[in-house]
Amino acid sequence: MKRRILGKSGLEVSAIGLGCMGMTWAYGAPGERGDMIALLRDAVELGVTFFDTAEVYGPFANEDLVGEALAPVRDKVVIATKFGFRINPTSPWPQGTDSRPEHIKEVADAALKRLRTDHIDLFYQHRVDPTVPIEDVAGAVAELVKVGKVKHFGLSEAGAGTIRKAHAVHPVAALQSEYSLWSREPETEILALVEELGIGFVAYSPLGRGFLTGAFGADTKFADDDFRGTNPRFRAEALQKNVALVEALKDIAQARNVTSGQLALAWLLAKKPWIVPIPGTRKRARLEENIAAADVSLGAADIQAIENAVAAHPIEGGRYDEQGLSAVNL
C-alpha cells in the first residue's frame, strides 16, 4: 500500500484508509463482531494503516470494536476518533453538540480505554459547537497533546473561518469532510485553504455511501434502520435520476479495466497528494477492491472524461434530511 502524509503534520498513513462506522452503526444491523474483527485485521495485513472511528458510532460500540481488533497491532496503525457530541447511551443518535473543554478531556479518557491504547493518533472535533469558541476547543486538545494522550488535532466539516482560528491556536493536522464525485463542496473554498495552511484532507463517504460503486439501482429500498433511506439523494424520485451518473461512470471504468468504485477513489487520489479517502465496508472482497484503487493511475484524459460525466448528470437531492442529521458525520 502506498503512503501519504497529511499536510505538513508529518502524520503518515496508508493512501486509502478504512472508515469503520458502518460496521456497528447507521447502515442497518451491526456486522457480526467476530467477522468485523477479522476484517479489520485483514485490512492491516493488506497494508491499511489508517482507521477511522468515533464515540457516537454505536454509540461507543465502534471504538470498542476497533480497539479490540487493533490492539495486537497497535504500533503499526494510526487510529482517528472524534469528540463533540452530547450522547445519550439509550439513543442511537446524538443529542446535540458538546465541545466544552472539560467534556473533550472526558471523551478522550473514555476513548483511550475503549481503544485499548495510551494515545489517540488523530482526535477530531466531530462537528463545530456553536456554543464553544473554537479557540477553547483547540486549547483543550493542545493540553491533551502536551500530556501525550493525543498526537494530532483534527476538525470535521468545519468552515474556513473556524479552521483558521483553530489552526492559529494549535496546528490542525487534518480536516475530515465528505468529498466524492457526488459531493464536491470542498472544492469551492476548503481545499485551497487547507493547502495554504498545510492541513491534510480526509475524505469520508468517498464512494457516496456506496452509491458510486453501482450497488444501488433506481428501485433500491432501504431498511428502516439504514440511515441512507432518510437521505434525499437516496429517495426513490432522486435515485431515478442519480443512477444515470453511475451508469456513465461505469462505462468509463470498464474502458479502463477498473470498477466504478476504484475509478471514484482514484479520482480523489489524483486531486492532491495530501487527500486520503476512507471508504468503509463489511466485506473482504470490497476491501481488496478499494485498496487496489491506490494503484490506479488516471491521466488527464481520464480525469476529463470523469469531469464531463459529472457535469452532464447533476445530482438530485441534498446530502442529509431536514431533521438535523447533518450534525452527524456520516
| pLDDT tens column, 24-37 | 999 999 999 999 99
pLDDT score, position 330: 36
Could you report the per-residue pLDDT of 119-133, keeping only the tens digit for each?
999 999 999 999 999
Condensed to tens digits (0 to 9), the pLDDT of residues 190-201 reads 999 999 999 999
> Which residues, 6 or more positions from 193, have their beta carbon under 8 angstroms from its beta carbon?
160, 163, 164, 199
**Predicted local distance difference test score (pLDDT) of residue 320:** 80
Q: If residue 169 lies in a helix (H) or strand (E), which one and from where to where?
A: helix 160-169
Sign (positive or negative) of CA dihedral 95, 99, 100, 102: positive
Domain 3-209+268-296 has CATH 3.20.20.100: yes
> By percentage, how much of the chain surpasses pLDDT 90?
91
Say how far apart CA 2 and CA 296 lie, in whole Å.
11
Which SS3 state, helix, strand or coil, does residue 56 take?
coil
Q: Which residue has the cell 477492491?
A: 289
Residue pair 44/13 in contact by the 8 Å Cβ criterion = no
The string of pLDDT tens digits covering residues 52-91 is 999 999 999 999 999 999 999 999 999 999 999 999 988 8
Per-chain mean pLDDT for the chain: 95
Q: What is the pLDDT of residues 211-241, one digit of tens each?
A: 999 999 889 999 988 989 989 999 999 999 9
The residue extents of the domains of the chain are: 3-209+268-296
Least confident of 5-9, 19-23, 250-254, 323-327: 323-327
Which amino acid, residue 134? I
On the question of pLDDT at 164 being above 80, the answer is yes
Q: Is the pLDDT of residue 321 over 80?
A: no
pLDDT at site 91: 87
pTM of the model: 0.96
State residue 208's pLDDT score.
96
Residue 208 CA to residue 59 CA, distance in Å, equals: 23
Judge if the upstream peptide bond of residue 59 is cis by omega within 30 degrees of 0. Answer: yes
297 burial via Cβ count (<10 Å: 0-12, 13-18, 19+): exposed
pLDDT for 322: 57
Catalytic residue set: 57
Q: Where are the alpha helices (DSSP H) in the chain?
A: 33-45, 61-70, 101-115, 134-146, 160-169, 190-197, 236-255, 260-271, 284-292, 300-312
Tens of pLDDT, residue by residue over 252-294, are 999 999 999 999 999 999 999 999 999 999 999 999 999 999 9
- Residue 184: partners with Cβ closer than 8 Å, 6 or more residues away: 310
Cβ contacts of 183 within 8 Å, gap of 6 or more:
205, 208, 319
Q: How confident is the model at residue 324 (pLDDT cuts 50, 70, 90)?
A: very low
Contact 100, 141 (CB under 8 A): no
